[in-house]
């Protein structure tokens, strides 16, 4: 039985079993964020015998309401902690002795990284190294870093990045993710740790913080507020439903060859202006809500990754059609307006106001 003294430290369950012989114990970092919360639900649904620890600092982007559907599951516990703090990281490994680590925790928003790069280095770089150090000590079976297609930098039309392409990050966020990837490489090459990196394109779906473009368009449109589109709106991104991303991480965790990097994407490339118009049409809102605003400094024109490797070697392919996924996401935000009100807090608005990008 686990005994806990500090209520601020987390929501603990006496029934949570740490006996290694029962089944796998999975440490998820950043599980209160958008993709992490979806991933925890996915794992508990698909591996009902696994035990999952959600280790999260609860920054502005971490919201335990994202776990409300599974918080009473006896195989799930939350532990509050900072990956950049060695003591917190030591505690979580010692307490739970996990088999696997799936590492989502990060500062994830490019605009914020332009304003304050330091916290991106602390969390995304130092935090990753702390997790790797204790993973080595605890002989973790597999450590998966959730990285991003942004590490490739902007990609010319006609090309889709493959895993062996050079990393050429152009903003503090993507540079910090590239640095984290190099630390993963070192853990494998120098210390023989079993690792993978997943490089996904832009995700969309439920629980995404409305500073990101798709939920921002939906949430602003719901309130008939202007939709800020950076520059000329011709920058393009490709979009993957978060559920498809979770399935990709599952196959990499269980079947990925140690030391390998896997791109993950669906073929849904669209310019930001076309995306905004598509969503407004679906919502029956006027297109003149769109407002062209000051561009993001260093704004990458285009991301595109080739996901043939994960398809050919591990059998993963995306299942969710973009229009269906968008319809479902719009409905989710319309139904969960309380969730939206909750997250659009003072902290979010402060950042929005200070943000260089988007302010004319």
Phi-psi region of 30 (alpha: psi -120 to 50; beta: other; left: phi over 0): left
Q: Is 209 in the site for ligand NAD (CB under 6 A)?
A: yes
User: Is residue 37 involved in binding ligand DAU (CB under 6 A)?
Assistant: no
Least distance between ligand NAD and beta carbon 204 (Å): 7
Burial class (CB in 10 A: 0-12, 13-18, 19+), 146: buried
Which is nearer to ligand NAD, 17 or 301 (by Cβ)?
301
150 is catalytic: yes
Q: State the binding string over 247-286 for ligand DAU (x if CB under 6 A, else -).
A: -------------------------x--------------
Degrees, nearest 5: CA angle 310-314-315: 90
- Helix orientation angle between 213-222 and 272-283, rounded to the nearest 10 degrees: 40
- Pairing relationship of beta strands 51-56 and 76-80 according to DSSP bridges: parallel
Is 66:37 a contact under the CB 8 Å cutoff?
Answer: yes
Cβ atoms of 246 and 39 within 8 Å: the answer is: yes
User: Within positions 81 to 120, which residues make up the interface with ligand DAU, using CB under 6 A?
Assistant: 108-110
Q: What is the SS3 assignment for 262?
A: strand
Catalytically annotated residue among 76, 93, 173, 262:
173
Candidates 99, 107, 149, 244; catalytic one = 149
3-state secondary structure of 103: strand
# residues near ligand NAD by CB under 6 A: 30
Q: Which stretch binds ligand NAD (CB under 6 A): 104-112, 185-193, 223-231, 250-258?
A: 104-112
Q: Is 235 in the site for ligand NAD (CB under 6 A)?
A: no
- Enumerate the β-bridge partners of residue 198: 146, 262
User: What phi and psi, each to the nearest 5 degrees, are found at residue 121?
Assistant: -70, -40
**The only residue of 95, 150, 250, 269 in contact with ligand DAU, by rule CB under 6 A:** 150
Told to check if 320 binds ligand NAD by CB under 6 A, we report no
Contact present, 301 and 253 (Cβ < 8 Å): no
Q: Could you give the strand order of the β-sheet that contains 236-241, starting from the edge strand earlier in sequence?
A: 202-204, 236-241, 269-271
Looking at beta carbons only, is 194 or 245 nearer to ligand NAD? 245
Q: Among ligand NAD, ligand DAU, none, what binds residue 238 when CB lies within 5 to 8 Å by partner kind? A: none
Exactly one of 27, 44, 53, 62 binds ligand NAD (CB under 6 A); that residue is 62
Q: Is 173 a catalytic residue?
A: yes
Query: Does the protein bind ligand NAD through residue 241 (CB under 6 A)?
Result: no
How many other C-beta atoms are found inside a 10 Å radius of the C-beta of residue 338? 9
**Residues forming the active site:** 149-150, 173
Q: Which residues of this protein are in contact with ligand NAD, per CB under 6 A? A: 29-30, 32-36, 56-59, 61-62, 82-84, 104-108, 123, 127, 146, 148, 177, 200, 202-203, 209
């Amino acid at each position: 039985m686990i005994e806990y003294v500090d209520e601020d430290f987390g929501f603990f369950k006496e029934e949570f079993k740490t006996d290694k012989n029962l089944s796998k114990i999975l440490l998820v970092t950043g599980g209160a964020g958008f993709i992490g919360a979806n991933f925890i639900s996915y794992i508990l649904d698909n591996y009902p015998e696994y035990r999952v620890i959600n280790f999260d600092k609860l920054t502005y982007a971490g919201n335990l309401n994202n776990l409300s559907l599974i918080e009473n599951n006896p195989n799930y516990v939350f532990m509050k902690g900072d990956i950049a703090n060695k003591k917190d990281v030591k505690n979580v490994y010692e307490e739970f002795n996990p088999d696997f680590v799936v590492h989502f925790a990060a500062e994830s928003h490019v605009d914020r990284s332009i304003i304050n790069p330091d916290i991106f280095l602390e969390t995304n770089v130092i935090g990753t190294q702390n997790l790797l150090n204790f993973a080595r000590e605890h002989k973790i079976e597999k450590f998966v870093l959730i990285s991003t297609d942004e590490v490739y930098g902007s990609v010319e039309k006609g090309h889709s990045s493959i895993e062996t392409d050079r990393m050429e990050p152009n903003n503090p966020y993507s540079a910090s993710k590239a640095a984290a990837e190099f630390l993963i490489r070192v853990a494998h090459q120098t210390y023989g740790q079993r690792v993978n990196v997943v490089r996904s394109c832009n995700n969309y779906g439920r629980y995404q913080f409305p500073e990101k473009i798709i939920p921002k368009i939906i949430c602003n449109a719901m309130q008939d507020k202007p939709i800020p589109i950076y520059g000329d709106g011709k920058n393009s991104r490709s979009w993957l439903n978060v559920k498809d991303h979770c399935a990709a991480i599952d196959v990499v965790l269980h079947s990925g060859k140690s030391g390998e990097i896997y791109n993950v994407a669906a073929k849904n490339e669209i310019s930001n202006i076309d995306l905004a118009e598509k969503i407004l049409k679906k919502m029956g809102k006027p297109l003149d809500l769109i407002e062209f605003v000051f561009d993001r400094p260093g704004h990458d024109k285009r991301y595109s990754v080739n996901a043939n490797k994960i398809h050919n070697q591990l059998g993963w392919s995306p299942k969710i059609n973009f229009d269906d996924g968008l319809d479902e996401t719009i409905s989710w935000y319309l139904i969960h307006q309380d969730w939206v009100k909750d997250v659009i807090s003072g902290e979010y608005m402060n950042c929005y106001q200070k943000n260089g990008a988007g302010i004319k």
